[in-house]
Every structure is written in C-alpha cells, then in structure tokens.
Amino acid sequence: MKREAVFSKSPRTVGSVSHIDAESSTPTSWRTKLRWDFVAVFLLGVLFSLLFMGVFLMQRNAPKALTQQDIDGAVLHTLQTKELPSASAKAAASVQGAVVHVQSYVADPKNKDQDKESGVGTGVVIKDDGTILTNFHVIAGAKKLKVTFFDGTEAEATVVSVQPEKDLAVIKPQKIPDDLEPAILGSGSSQQLLPGDMVVAVGFPFGIGPSVSSGVVSGLNRQFKSPDGTQVLQGLIQFDAAANPGNSGGPLVNMSGEVVGIVTAILNPTSARTFIGIGFATTIESAGSAVGLPPF
C-alpha cells in the first residue's frame, strides 16, 4: 500500500525563526537609515540657509564705498554750513602763544629810585628755554627789561647778544610759563616768498595787543635807511600789513604759520611815525644766522 507523506505539525524552529527575523529586521533598519538621512539633509539645508542669510545681511549692511562725488558733496556741505577760520587767523593763532610784549626802562632823572619806561616793542620766543628774538632798537640803552607772555606772566629779562648792524637782539627772561611753545621758524621760507603772498604781522602797536594785521608781501630784497641816516639795512622783506611803533621785533608770518621775518621798520617820510602802507622785516634766515640758530 502506498504510504502518504506525513508532515510534522511542529514548526521548524531554526528555519522559521531565521526566516521571520530576516523578514522583520530589514524594514526597520531601512527606515532608521532613511530617518537619519532626512535629518542630515535637513540640518545641511538649515546650515546653507543660515550661511546665505548671513552673506545677504553682510552685503546689505556693508558700508557703501565713498566716491569722489560723495567727498565733494560733503566738503561743499561743510563750506555752506560751517564758518571756517580764515588762513590769516590760523597763521596768527599758530604763533600768538610765542609773541611777547617787551618793555624797556631807564633810570628816571627826576627820581633815581624809580625807573622810567623808555621803549615798547615786541619779541618772539624762538627756543624752549624762553629765548626771545627782538629788535636792537627796542632794548638799546635799557637799564631793565620786562617781558609779558601770552598768559599774563611777567618776568625781567637780560640781554644775551646783540647785532646792532642788523637791528637784532636776543634776550632771555628769568622765568617762563609752563606751557610755553616757541614759534616755528621757516628755514628757507623767506626765499620762497613772492610779491603777493599773504602774511600777517603780530605785535603790540602802541602797546596794544597782541594785535594782528594782515596783508601781502609787496617787495623783496629791499633797503631801508634809518631816519638819522646812520644805519642802512639790506635784504629786507617789504610788506603792507599794518605796523606801527610797538610792532618792532614782532614776527612776520606766512600762511603756513612759519615766522619768515622780524618786523624792524616802517617807512614814513613825515614826523607822524605812523604806518602809511610800507613796512620792512629782516628775513628769518638773516635773523637766525645773527643769533647762531641752526640750520641758518
């Protein structure tokens, strides 16, 4: 008799378990990998978005490059809305702290215990130690000298050296202000002057000051003969900035704020001794060499 095949009803443990595990594990691993890929892509997208936004904001907020038109417009606006100091005012301000009032005294013939003022002029500080350059005729014959600085400080001064033939003298005060700054001497600057160049004269005309007057260089290499005819000064700068008795020894200044000369005389054919439009200054090179200042 033919026997029918008999199959066991017990499940095949190994085969069936392996089969079931394989079937159930494959979808889980795939879904997990897909989820992490999505997260990575999402984060990468966020990163690129942030980078793009940062670049956009940087470009948007970056300062605009200035053009020549922008600069010209700003300058024009300033000129139209602001009152700027004149070139003459700036030139005078650059030396005003170095300009001093010089007073000379002689013995009073009526009272030997008192001194009498015999002259008044101007000087300019040329060294840090307070050394002052002035005219010889301002201090000639003086028994005592007194200088007054820009801040009101007063001090007696002594004569260091003189050059009568050039009408120059160097004096030194016994004390100076703490913040005293000497004037800037324009080495070679007077040689670059031309008729028509603007200059200012700073000094104490008739003892009033410091006073400032402005004008132009009206001539170069001029000659001046003293009223008594005993002295002739040569190589002078002629200028038309107002100068009067008391301006002698003061600085003549160019528009760069440099001292180019020392005011020494005014031309007036009358006995009034007042300014008629022609003044003379010794060049700063001549003045510097007379007192031994380098690099003159």
C-alpha count within 13 angstroms, C-beta hemisphere, residue 98: 29
Q: CA–CA separation, 204 vs 173, rounded Å?
A: 18
Of 137, 189, 211, 213, which residue is the catalytic one? 137
Of 88, 104, 213, 248, which residue is the catalytic one? 248
Rounded (to 5) percent helix, strand, coil in the chain = 30, 30, 35
Of 88, 167, 189, 214, which residue is the catalytic one? 167
Secondary structure (3-state) at 213: strand
Amino acid identity of residue 140, one-letter, is: A
User: Which stretches within the chain are classed as H helix?
Assistant: 13-61, 68-81, 87-96, 136-139, 284-290
Is 77 marked active-site?
no
Is 228 marked active-site?
no
Please give the full DSSP string across 130-142, using - where no structure is assigned: --EEE-HHHHTT-
Q: CA–CA separation, 89 vs 93, rounded Å?
A: 6
Task: State both tokens at 145.
Answer: 């000298």
Q: Among residues 23, 114, 94, which one has the least CA distance to residue 251?
A: 94
Helix (H) or strand (E) holding 238: strand 232-239
Long-range contacts of 82-90 (CB under 8 A, 24+ apart): 87/198, 87/255, 88/198, 88/200, 88/212, 88/214, 88/255, 89/212, 90/255, 90/257
**Residues linked to residue 106 through DSSP beta bridges, in sequence order:** 116
Q: CA–CA separation, 121 vs 206, rounded Å?
A: 8
Is 167 marked active-site?
yes
Q: Dihedrals φ, ψ of 208, to 5°?
A: -95, 125
**Annotated catalytic sites, by residue?**
137, 167, 248
